[in-house]
Amino acid sequence: MLHLTRRIPARVWVALTAVLGLGAALLGTTALAPRAEAATLTQVSAFGSNPGNLNMYVYRPATLPDNAPLVVLLHGCSQDAATYHAHSGWAKYADSLGFALVYAEQKSANNSSSCFNWFQKSDTARGSGEAQSIRSMVDYAVRTYSLDEERVYISGLSAGGAMASEMLAAYPDVFAGGSIVAGIPTGCASSLLDATTCMFSGRNLTPKQWGDLVRAKNPGWQGPWPRVAIWHGTADAVVTPKNAQSSRDQWTNVWGIGQTPARTANLGANTTVEYYQDSSGRDVVARYLVSGMGHGTPVDPGSGTDQCGTAGAYFLDTICSTYHTIQFWELDGDPQPSPSPSPSPSPSPSPTTPPAGECVTANNYQHVAEGRAYVSYGYAYSVGGNDLLGLWNIYVITSVQETSPGYWERVSGC
């Protein structure tokens, strides 16, 4: 299949690779790393319809029970299935909890940086391109290994995270949940050049507009919708943290709930999480923000129950995101995540009333200097809320309010 990306000039691909932060060093590491999991990570060459021309790999624990869950994993640019399997920590919990893993792997023939083509409609539409190939992998695994088709999940990093969001929107009838790690919301881009805007600055849409981009993938679908975990580092210079807010807005709107969390929690390792609940009180969307972390999958090497993975390029030693995602999906048998919660601010009496907490009006340079904001590509964003404040200088004046300790949101005025 001829992808549109093959007709993009080479200089554009070079520029995109540079902004993704996946240069020669990572390419060399990926190309030379031994495939240590070859004995257990098995390639499946014929898994059904494959219009996206992807590779499929399967990891099956020795003690995999019948009717076990399935987790589909999508690597980042210039990575492959073996790299993601070796570093992400998913194998540890597949072994201990008893579920299967499927890794979809991109080919350089489809994308010169081995990125999933999350910005190409021909690869993200239901029944088309790479989306259909991944769907075929799910069908094959469920049928061949007697897995539970009601407990299929998907997670990915960066371009893989963006593609995971596209898959959740295209196939809400297939996936019970998903995890978007340093990714981008569904429908943000429809071309390679458009993708750079999404990566660097995001798009300013309302929650309903974001939600409509998901609903447009399956007109008439009324649910149920997948449960979605969103992970992002607040110092990500490759994919702006603004996208984590947009993904939160998108999936809470799809679920028909507001953007005020039902509760928040501190998980340690400079990580906070916000839980958003449906009408039954079940957590259906969670946004995890790792303060000070750059672009990558959060891992925490070690032997503890809540530790996993190995550090490497774009696998950052902070917290085991895999462990907490599994808790959120309830694959560990726990009906709800079990961190020590901290109370969320009470809902405001009206949408225009700012929440309680310190409010500061200052220029963006001062906000950054005093720890209320951070800088990404010349723009200031609020710490915690990741709200775009504008250019980082002394001329742009904005107001931010601390809605919970260390969590600042932009407000109209103090």
Most confident range (mean pLDDT) of 154-163, 216-225, 357-366 is 154-163
Burial label for 350, CB within 10 Å (0-12, 13-18, 19+), is exposed
DSSP code per residue over 269-296: TTEEEEEEE-TTS-EEEEEEEETT--SS
**pTM for the full predicted model:** 0.75
Domain assignment of residue 17, yes or no: no
Last residue of a domain, one of 285, 310, 329: 329
Domain of 211 in residue numbering reads as: 42-329
In this structure, what CATH number is given to the domain that contains residue 317?
Answer: 3.40.50.1820
d(CA 382, CA 22): 27
Flag whether 37 is in a domain.
Answer: no
Q: What is the per-residue pLDDT for 332?
A: 87
Spatial contact of 319 and 267, defined as CB atoms under 8 Å apart? yes
Indicate the range of 107-111, 116-120, 236-240, 366-370 predicted with least confidence: 366-370
294 with 394, same domain: the answer is: no
Shared-domain flag, residues 200 and 117: yes
Mean pLDDT of 179-183: 98
Q: What confidence category does residue 334 fall into, taking pLDDT thresholds of 50, 70 and 90?
A: low
Lowest-pLDDT choice from 14-23, 37-46, 328-337:
14-23
Please report the pLDDT score of residue 396 as a whole number: 81
Report yes or no on 343 lying in a domain. Answer: no
End-to-end CA distance of the chain: 56
Stretch 380-393: mean pLDDT: 81
Q: What are the φ and ψ backbone dihedral angles of 171, each rounded to 5 degrees?
A: -130, 60
Share of the chain above pLDDT 90, in %: 70
Burial of 89 (0-12, 13-18, 19+ CB in 10 A): buried
Is pLDDT at 211 greater than 90 in this prediction?
yes
Q: Which of 16-30, 45-59, 189-203, 351-365 has the highest mean pLDDT?
A: 45-59
Compute the average pLDDT of residues 9-31: 34
Judged by average pLDDT, the poorest of 65-79, 151-165, 317-331, 392-406 is: 392-406
Q: What is the DSSP letter of 312?
A: B
Give the pLDDT of residue 327. 97
Q: Is 239 helix (H, G, I), strand (E, B) or coil?
A: coil
Q: Which of 158, 179, 246, 382 is catalytic?
A: 158
Q: Is 279 a catalytic residue?
A: no
- Amino acid 349: pLDDT: 39
Question: Based on the domain organization, do 404 and 265 belong to the same domain?
Answer: no
139/223 same-domain check: yes
Mean pLDDT of 234-239: 97
CB atoms within 10 A of CB 375: 16
Query: If pLDDT is split at 50, 70 and 90, which confidence band does 343 have?
Result: very low
Q: Can you tell me which residue has the tokens 């309903």? A: 208
Per-residue pLDDT, averaged over 104-127, amounts to: 97
Tell whether the torsion through CA atoms of 79, 203, 177 and 111 is positive or negative. Answer: negative
Using the Cα atoms of residue 363, residue 369, residue 370 and residue 374 in order, give the sign of their dihedral.
Answer: positive
Check whether residue 125 and residue 185 sit in a common domain. Answer: yes
pLDDT reported for residue 407: 84
**Same domain, yes or no: 293 and 404:** no
Q: What is the pLDDT of residue 391?
A: 75
Q: 37 falls in which pLDDT band (50, 70, 90)?
A: very low
Mean pLDDT for the chain? 86
- Report the candidate in 204, 171, 164 with the shortest Cα–Cα distance to residue 76: 164
Tell me how many domains the chain contains: 2
What average pLDDT does this structure show over 365-369? 82
State residue 311's pLDDT score: 98
Question: Does some domain include residue 348?
Answer: no
Q: Encode pLDDT of 272-287 as tens digits.
A: 999 999 999 999 999 9
